[in-house]
Amino acid sequence: MVSAAAAAGTWKLGDLEVNRIGYGAMRLTGNGMMGNSDGTPIDRDAAVGLLHSAFEQGVNHVDTAAFYFSPLRSANELVNRALSSWYGDVVVVTKVGPARDPSGEWLTMARPDQLRGQVEENLRQLGRDHLDVVNLRRNPGTASITEHFGALVELRQAGLIRHLGLSNVRPEHVTEALTIAPVVCVQNSYGLDWRRADESGLVDLCREQGIAFVPYFAVSGLRREAAASDEDDARVHAVARAHNATPAQVRLAWTLHRGPHVLAIPGTTNPAHLAENIAAGALSLTEEELAVLETPGEGSA
């Protein structure tokens, strides 16, 4: 029997096969960006139960980071607790590069020689002896990633990392990294309302190179890390009504229709929304519906 999360198919991150619907752990720490909470974080036991529910529905790809924390919660700690009975069945993707002090204040981008400490911190928090996938998240002001990516390659050769990816990058950074080592995934902001990765050719480049493209904010769109609000796009509502689906499911289905290499990592703390997000993998949109969603200027519902 095909699990709900496998309905959209699978993709390989290197030698690690995952279902295309995954889960993003950022919101487990609160509603704010990367753990800068503007809301009450989910109860620990409820968070672990939510992750177990995701795994039971076939989610086997979790996105997290050591810098996803709030005064009361650490995403990595919650993922670690939840994985205690699922070790080896779920691929964990984490990120390094940005740095925060214990109070949550953002620091400057880590130097290449500081990345080992960040990798080791993720290992400690996740309770693992190696990390499945580590994404280098680029600082927007960083032109070249060669030194940082090269430092991660050395840690991969040392056995601390299995596969490498990139986040918040442009096509030239992917090309630059590929001259150094294989890249298994690229994680950028992308969705129906935020299409820079199409305009730059990044989505196509990833497809051509066999690299997973993993959008974040695929559901929230221009709201980015803000808490969920009512959908105001008439196009999305029209398609949702035709399928008796939710607007969030339509946005996720549109994202997955961008290509078999495109994955999804929606995050939520609501069990009902979790089930809806996972079920979006089975939502098949017609060419006419995709054209409706692509039509500009439809306005608000």
Q: 23, 68, 190, 216: which one is catalytic?
A: 68
Tell me if 240 sits within 8 A of 52, measured CB to CB. no
Token pair in block for residue 113: 């020689």
Q: Is 68 among the catalytic positions?
A: yes
| Residue positions annotated with a catalytic role | 68
